[in-house]
Structure 1
Amino acid sequence: MQELTFVYDADDILDRPIHVGVVASGDLEIVMLPDPGRPTATIALRTSVDGHGARWQRVLDRFFEHGAFRARYEINDSGATPGMVSLRLGQARELAATNPPPAVAP
Structure 2
Amino acid sequence: MLNRITTDQDDTVDALLRQIEWSRFDDTQKGRIPFANDPASATVVARLRACGESIHAVGGLDAVDEAILRITEMNSGFSDQRCKLLEALWSPIGHDTETR
TM-score (norm 2): 0.32
Give the structure with the larger helix fraction.
Answer: 2
TM-score (norm 1): 0.31
Give the structure with the larger strand fraction.
Answer: 1
